[in-house]
Structure 1
Amino acid sequence: MKFKTRLLVTFLTIVFLPLMLTALAFISIGGYLMNAQREIGMVNVDYTMMSDPAQTFEQISEKVFKEVKRQIAIDEAKLEDTAYLNDINKGIEDKASYILVRKGDRLYYAGNTAAADKIFNILPAYGYANESHDAGYYYNSMEKLVKQLDFTFSDGTEGSFFIITKIHTLISKQLLIDMFIAIILILLFTSVMLTRWIHMGVFLPVNELNMAMKSIASGNLDYMLNTDNKGEIGDLYKNYEDMRLRLKETTDEKFEHEKQNRELISNISHDLKTPITAIKGYVEGIMDGVADTPEKMDKYIKTIYNKANDMDRLINELTVYSGIDSNRVPYHFHRINVADYFGDCIEEVGLDLESKNIELNYFNLVSPDTMIIADPEQLKRVISNIIGNSVKYLDKEKGVIDIHILDEVDSIRIEIEDNGKGIAAKDLPNIFERFYRTDASRNSSKGGSGIGLSIVKKIVEDHGGYIWATSKENEGTCLHFVFRKYREVKE
């Protein structure tokens, strides 16, 4: 969830949840209190008693008050009938009310004698009731609402009819207390709920991210963070995972590069040690007089020369690899005529192969005007490395190397095939990797450093081409690489 949405939800929760819970608490508490009032004798109690209990209790006696007032207008003598008064009292006694009739200054009738004795002496005098006091009088100390109607007895004595109602303020006061407690609990509940929600949705992910960053700082790049969250938190987790994977990839590449460099140094050291040991041996033979004939001397010197060339080749190969691997080798691209370039190259290579009793077959199947864009020196290195690699691993009495130049419409494909021992299928996908050696066909005893084909692949790809190999064990290997043709743009 996005922070903007989370803030909106938090705002709405703070505003509306307490309101809804407060309304629910009001209904529940009010219902409970009204039920309690019914149990002590109050009936027809509703929610108006909570907001204005005096008005509610006034309405309880209003019907009886109007009926008696109407009776007085018709026949005042009816109020002297005890049976009539009993009927009226029974109608209101379940509403915490009773009637009282005063004749002169004495009690004539009381619906509740015990209660009447307490209030009789403070009731208003005859004639006090008028239109302005129809609502009655409230005695705060006794919590009584008194409504008065004056009339005259049949013998001429002044009389007063009273409806006395007990004002129960329990609901209002208890409601206030209970609602105050309920609101405190509601606010605490809302606060705890929102705090937990924010803690789970914000602080926990941030703490996890903090721990993950500490793990990264300590070098632990395997500390993963997975989440289904959307929004900013989800983006943070995703960015962390992207960063972690990139760092891990970079670290792994660095580790692999260092491992390969160590392997290169080990291979070069081993390959240099062999000719150096041979050179030292032959030099010592010359110094000790072992080469005591011109023929032996000539043999020793040629051997020393060849071993020195092997050392020079290894050093040059390492220099070239180092430059290509770090993209420091400058390319000098030119338009090259395919037929002319490969013709000259094959002629130069052929002389060397002929001296080693290796047959070289060249087949050019592209048109004479076919052109490519390439660096002549680096392309020659590609051909030399591939042919040199083939020569190393020729195991037949008569070695054969075939070179085909094929036309593929928009590109040319060069195939260099030998009849050597071949490469195992499990090793074939890896032969272009840096420092890769197979046990059977690319061991250091043949003088290989394990970087020749990786140099070839890098040069071909820098020319915008691609390279692959096919091979069958004990039959031979074929290297294929492709270059795009150069075509002039016609105006």
Structure 2
Amino acid sequence: MRLKTRIAIAFLAIIFIPVILTGVAFYCLMHYKVQAIGKEYGIENPTYENIYNNSLMISKMMDSEFQSLKQEAEEHPERLEDNSYLNQLNEDLDEDNAYLAVRKGDSIYYNGSTTISDSKLLDSLPKYGDSYASSDSGMYIRTEEQSLVKQVDFVFQDGAEGSIFLITRMNQVFPGMRNWMFDMVVIVILILVTTSLAMSLWIYRGVVTPLNQLKKATQNIRDGNLDFTVEGNGVKEVNDLCEDFEDMRKRLKESAEEKVDFDKDNKELISNISHDLKTPITAVKGYVEGIMDGVADTPEKMDRYIRTIYNKANEMDRLINELTFYSKIDTNRIPYTFTKIHVSDYFEDCVEELSLELESRHIELTYFNYLEEDEVVIADAEQLKRVINNIVSNSIKYMDKARGVINIRLRDVGDFIQVEIEDNGKGIAQKDLSRIFDRFYRTDASRNSTRGGSGIGLSIVRKILEDHGGKVWATSKEGVGTVMHFVLRKYQEVPVDEQDTDHRR
């Protein structure tokens, strides 16, 4: 989810969730209050309208005080003449925004209000014996403010007619409603605070949690630790950043591993080249010392010593060339000069050159050309010769038979020319066949380093053939021998009429 979307959702949630929860809370609290107030004030089957009817609820609220006054007037009317008693009652009523007034004859005997004068009060109060004011519902009067009056008539001890009035100001909200409003305000505040905190935490966790992962990841990279993972679980923008960071970490790890492998390969290459150069150098030094000491005292010995020195020098030159070519492989700067090569003529020349070297090593070389036509390929003659020489050299290196045999065969396989170079050497284990073209790969069974060689010959073969658009593979059987197969695509000329058609298009 995008950060923009998450913020929009949080904004809408902060608006609508409190509205919905407030509505639910309002309904539940109102239902509870209606039942509680109905029970408190004795309203049968209370409804929401009862709650909203302020006059009715104030009237019901003062019912108990009104009934007490009626009972007092009937049983102890003399108390209604006692000012101290009336003051005590008036103080209790003040909490309910009400007060008492007592009229004796045509004058005010007691006025519990501190804001309305006796004269104004006298003008507003109902007459003695007023049925409306004497009812439980009372009647409304207006002095300085609208009030609900409930009247109880009685007779003073001296025989004068009197009335005590329970006057309730109507500019108030009855206590039950005030409590309900206070509870609603508290609930709304709690809903707003809780919703805001929840949405803020949701956005915070969506952004800060993956950022903390990235911070920890950068610390790991700083400390050289690349074995960890970064997983985004927040907003899309931060997730994308985490994914890019994870890709970077993987590439850094791959680069670090490649560097370790590269350093290891370089050390192995240096070790192999040093070992392989030391052997012919030692031989050259020995034969030169023999010449200097006069050991080669016959023309035949001198010729043999010089020829051996020449062969060892060629061997060193070959090793140095491999090292140079190896550096060009790593930088993809192999020099190619592609030309048309007639396959049959080219391989006849190669076989002729190889025959001289193999004859001196007592290895029989046979050549089979199964091509029916004089096929042509596009290739670099020098690099293709390197391929053949490297394969043949590898066969010679691991030849373990007293009578060595190497067969070279050419076959036509459709759009390709397939070359097979077979030997009767010690063979290669099946588990190693898929890896013999890897750089520096060696096995005790097939490519033991004690036999010499830089360990990159077959990897050079694969690289050159891939650059020619071909491929190489091997089949082998231990104790019997190995066959190296590689293919080159045939050169096919486009007919003149097709060329003209292409030009017109």
TM-score with structure 1 setting the length: 0.78
* Residue 137, structure 1, aligned to residue 141, structure 2: yes
Task: Read off the aligned partner of 2:26 and give its amino acid letter.
Answer: F
2:194 to 174, 178, 189: 189
SS of equivalent residue, structure 2 residue 229: coil
| Counterparts of 1:138 and 1:170, CA distance in 2 | 22
1:459 to partner: Cα distance = 0.3
How many angstroms apart in 1 are the aligned matches of 2:67 and 2:141? 15
CA positional deviation for 1:56: 5.5
CA drift of 1:432 comes to: 0.5
2:5 maps to 5
Q: In 1, Cα distance between the equivalents of 2:196 and 2:17? A: 11
Structure 2 residue 14 is matched with structure 1 residue 14: yes
| Partner of residue 94, structure 2 | none
Query: Could you tell me how far 1:318 is from its partner in structure 2?
Result: 0.8
- Cα distance in structure 1, aligned partners of 2:348 and 2:20: 93
CA contact (8 A) 1:137 1:147 kept: no
SS at match of 1:40: helix
Counterpart CA distance in 2 for 1:161 and 1:407 is 132
Cα 1:126/1:54, change in 2 over 3 Å:
closer
Contact 1:471–1:477 (8 Å) recurs in 2: yes
Distance in 2 between the 1:387 and 1:320 partners?
18
User: Are the equivalent residues in 2 in contact too, given 1:100–1:164 (CA < 8 A)?
Assistant: no
What SS does structure 1 have at the residue aligned with 2:333?
coil
Other-structure match for 2:373? 368
Q: Is the 8 A contact 1:466 1:482 kept in 2?
A: yes
CA gap 1:385/1:125 in 2 versus in 1, 3 angstroms = closer
Partner of 1:53: 54
1:206-217 to structure 2, matched below 5 A, reads 206-217=211-222
C-alpha offsets along residues 290-338 of structure 1, whole Å, 9 cap, x if unaligned?
Answer: 4455554444433333222221111111111211232111211112222
Contact 1:99 1:161 (8 Å CA) reproduced: no
CA contact (8 A) 1:34 1:171 kept: no
Trace 1:216-227 onto structure 2 (pairs within 5 A): 216-226=221-231
Q: Which amino acid aligns with 1:429?
A: S
CA distance in 2, matches of 1:139, 1:473: 124
The more displaced of 219-228 and 367-376 is 219-228
- 2:470 maps to a residue whose letter is G
* Partner residue in 2 for 1:172: 177
Rounded to whole Å, the distance in 1 between the matches of 2:267 and 2:168 is: 106
User: What is the aligned partner in structure 1 of residue 23 from structure 2?
Assistant: 23
Asked if 1 retains the 8 angstrom alpha-carbon contact of 2:206 and 2:233, the reply is no
Deviation at 1:263, TM superposition (A): 0.6
Q: For residue 205 of structure 1, what is the aligned residue in structure 2?
A: 210
After superposition, the Cα gap between the structure-2 partners of 1:172 and 1:295, relative to the gap in structure 1 and judged at 3 Å, is same
1:418-437 Cα shifts (integer Å, max 9, x gaps): 11111122222221011122
Q: TM-score, normalised by structure 2?
A: 0.76
**Cα RMSD (Å):** 3.9
Q: Distance in 2 between matches of 1:482 and 1:230?
A: 53
SS at match of 1:215: helix
Distance 1:144 1:33, change over 3 A: farther
- Name the amino acid aligned to 1:311: M
Structure 1 distance, partners of 2:292, 2:359, is 35
Task: Give the Cα–Cα distance (whole angstroms) in 1 for the partners of residues 297 and 144 of structure 2.
Answer: 145
Name the counterpart of 1:64.
none
Contact 1:271 1:449 (8 Å CA) reproduced: yes
For residues 47-446 of structure 1, the aligned pairs below 5 Å read: 47-48=48-49, 53-54=54-55, 57=58, 93=63, 118-121=100-103, 124-126=124-126, 136-137=140-141, 145-146=148-149, 169-226=174-231, 231-446=236-451
- Aligned residues between the structures: 444
Kindly indicate whether the alpha-carbon contact (under 8 Å) linking 1:99 and 1:164 is maintained by their aligned counterparts in 2. no
Which whole-Å deviations, capped at 9, do the CAs of 1:152-179 have from their partners, x for residues lacking one? Answer: xxxxxx9999997786621233233323
CA 1:364/1:296 → structure 2, altered by over 3 Å: closer, same or farther?
closer
Partner of 1:68: none
Could you report, residue by residue, the CA deviation over 1:57-101 in whole angstroms, capped at 9, with x for unpaired residues?
A: 57x79xxxxxxxxxxxxxxxxxxxxxxxxxxxxxx958x876999
Q: CA deviation at 1:187?
A: 2.2
CA contact (8 A) 1:271 1:444 kept: no
Shift of 1:15: 0.2
Counterpart CA distance in 1 for 2:148 and 2:398 is 122
Per-residue CA deviation, residues 378-404 of structure 1 (Å, 9 max, x unaligned), is 111111111121122222222211111
Q: Does the Cα contact within 8 Å between 2:206 and 2:235 map onto a contact in 1?
A: no
Q: Is the 8 A contact 1:282 1:304 kept in 2?
A: yes
Unaligned residue ranges in structure 2 (runs of 5+)? 81-85, 91-98, 104-110, 112-120, 131-137, 152-160, 499-505
Shift of 1:136: 2.2
- Name the stretch that deviates more: 430-439 or 166-175: 166-175
